[in-house]
Amino acid sequence: MPEFDVDLFVIGGGSGGVRAARIAATHGAKVQVAEEYRVGGTCVIRGCVPKKLLVYASRYAHEFEDAKGFGWTIEGAKFDWATLIANKDREIARLEAAYRATLTRNKVEIVDGRALVEDAHTVRLLKSGAKVRAKYILVATGGHPVLPEIPGRELAISSNEAFHLAELPRRIVIQGAGYIGVEFACLFAGLGAKVTLVHRGDEILRGFDEEVRHHVRVEMEARGIHVVLNHNIAAIEKISGGLCARFTDGNSHTADIVMFAIGRRPNTANMGLEAAGVALDKKGAVAVDDNSRSSVPSIYAIGDVTDRLQLTPVAIREGHAFADTVFGNSPWISNHANVPTAVFSEPEIGVVGLTEDEAKARGAIDVYKTMFRPMKVTLSGRATSILMKMVVDQKTQKVLGIHIVGENAAEMIQLAGVAVKMGATKADFDNTVALHPTTAEELVTLRTKA
């Protein structure tokens, strides 16, 4: 009898787990993957993908506004939440089926249901009680949204439920101004809801460049989003006609929906990990080395459950690196430096590299900055401006960070990220001929030091 039933057992069929399973299988490994909810995981089912679809929907509001300036008359434009959600659900179901088909085509066996770690080489399937002996176990269980321990928390929703609301809320209070809270605030506002965003800190989007944080908040407020800083929701009560969110300053707000986006916790509870000897960090994430190996040599972990950078492409690369290293005889390490990232707020943010403050803490820098009205709104007169900022190391002239706020910021930063990752200098940007008329050309014509 062989010592192991499979070469690899992956727990969690999300972004990271699916990539690891597929690549390991293409290297000849016998692979099973367990998924307790829906294959595709957070990103596909209730994260990046459905969110971006809702963001697209919400942006028609200002597209219609701009259109008027270009001579269009748009009469009777109406939005229907039920249609959007049904179409979104159809697309998510299509994607889930595609993920399943890819795994099956690559001879990965999908086990529907929850799986737990029994010991260094054994996984227990909760539904059947069956035990699977695996040479390697990969924990790719992701994370879940946290709700605060306050009275009335059961009346609130997280991003998970926001994708399935029966109707568009007329009034919504969102607590948490990280990227998820900010994105939902903007998309609900774009769809016509009255939005209040509550945040315990003194500015939104902690971790982003200070000027970016300020610029986006001002733009959000100009679009009618009520931002309440330095406060929390202390309690939620049911009242006639909705919910009442009581703030820590004693004020209260009436809404149809109260949503929390205050952070996500790694899915490591009741998984048998600690009993099997797998060390967790202070936040409950699986502690791993650069190769994603845990304290148990046969157990690896990737993606959000390791709480390194909670982004889909990061989970995917970690999964790919794991599979190539362990099964493909071609070791490599997923590098977390200069990962481009975006916030699909309104206006959008695209960022790569260091903020001004982070760069300053490392040495002398030059900062180049521009703020201007995009050409697209000149005819409609819509009030919005684009911010672009480049942080440059004074000695080497290497570009350390680029920060863009404005339409298509995410698309621009993906490409600017290549240059920053390659170690481009300010002169390299300057030597690139501008493509006119575009927004991105401003990145190669930055002359004014801030």
Residue 47 or 328 with smaller CB distance to ligand FAD: 47
Site for ligand FAD in 165-184 (CB under 6 A): 180
Prior bond to 347 cis, omega within 30?
Answer: yes
Catalytic residue among 62, 164, 320, 436: 436
Q: What letter does residue 347 receive in the DSSP assignment?
A: S
Q: How far is the CB of 441 from ligand FAD (least distance, A)?
A: 26
Residue 74 or 93 with smaller CB distance to ligand FAD: 93
Q: How far is the CB of 275 from ligand FAD (least distance, A)?
A: 14
- Name which position in 9, 24, 32, 41 contacts ligand FAD (CB under 6 A): 41
- Name which position in 209, 304, 393, 442 contacts ligand FAD (CB under 6 A): 304
Residue 304 or 324 with smaller CB distance to ligand FAD: 304
Using the rule CB under 6 A, give the single segment among 40-48, 55-63, 395-403, 434-442 that binds ligand FAD: 40-48
Q: How far is the CB of 112 from ligand FAD (least distance, A)?
A: 9
Q: How far is the CB of 318 from ligand FAD (least distance, A)?
A: 8
**Facing residues of 373 across strands?**
none
- Name which position in 10, 43, 103, 443 contacts ligand FAD (CB under 6 A): 43
Q: How far is the CB of 130 from ligand FAD (least distance, A)?
A: 14
Determine the size of the site formed for ligand FAD (CB under 6 A): 34
Q: How far is the CB of 132 from ligand FAD (least distance, A)?
A: 12
Site for ligand FAD in 7-36 (CB under 6 A): 11-17, 34-36
Which residues, 6 or more positions from 178, have their beta carbon under 8 angstroms from its beta carbon? 205, 206, 261, 262, 263
Q: How far is the CB of 114 from ligand FAD (least distance, A)?
A: 4
Rule CB under 6 A: say whether 294 interacts with ligand FAD: no
Using the rule CB under 6 A, give the single segment among 44-52, 74-82, 99-107, 246-254 that binds ligand FAD: 44-52
Q: How far is the CB of 175 from ligand FAD (least distance, A)?
A: 15
Rule CB under 6 A: say whether 42 interacts with ligand FAD: yes
- Name which position in 32, 159, 232, 292 contacts ligand FAD (CB under 6 A): 159
Instruction: Please state, in angstroms and rounded to a whole number, the distance separating the CA atoms of residues 82 and 167.
Output: 7
Using the rule CB under 6 A, give the single segment among 47-55, 97-105, 323-331, 419-427 that binds ligand FAD: 47-55
Using the rule CB under 6 A, give the single segment among 59-67, 215-223, 305-313, 424-432 that binds ligand FAD: 305-313
Residue 156 or 392 with smaller CB distance to ligand FAD: 156
Residue 310 or 429 with smaller CB distance to ligand FAD: 310
Q: What is the DSSP string of 277-340?
A: T--B-TTSPBP--TT-B-SSTTEEE-GGGG-S---HHHHHHHHHHHHHHHHSS-------TT--
Q: What is the largest CA-CA distance in the chain?
A: 76
Rule CB under 6 A: say whether 271 interacts with ligand FAD: yes
Q: How far is the CB of 428 from ligand FAD (least distance, A)?
A: 27
The reply to whether 144 belongs to the active site is no
Q: What are phi and psi for residue 408, nearest 5 degrees?
A: 65, 20
**Facing residues of 137 across strands?**
9, 299
- Name which position in 51, 213, 246, 389 contacts ligand FAD (CB under 6 A): 51
Site for ligand FAD in 307-366 (CB under 6 A): 310-313, 315
Q: Which of 363, 366, 373 is nearest to 429 (CA)?
A: 366
- Name which position in 48, 147, 235, 444 contacts ligand FAD (CB under 6 A): 48
Asked whether 284 and 270 are in contact (CB, 8 A), the reply is no
Per-residue x/- track, 86-105, ligand FAD (CB under 6 A): --------------------
By CB under 6 A, name the binding residues for ligand FAD.
Answer: 11-17, 34-37, 41-43, 47-48, 51, 114-115, 140-142, 159, 180, 267, 271, 303-305, 310-313, 315
Q: Which residues are the active-site residues?
A: 436
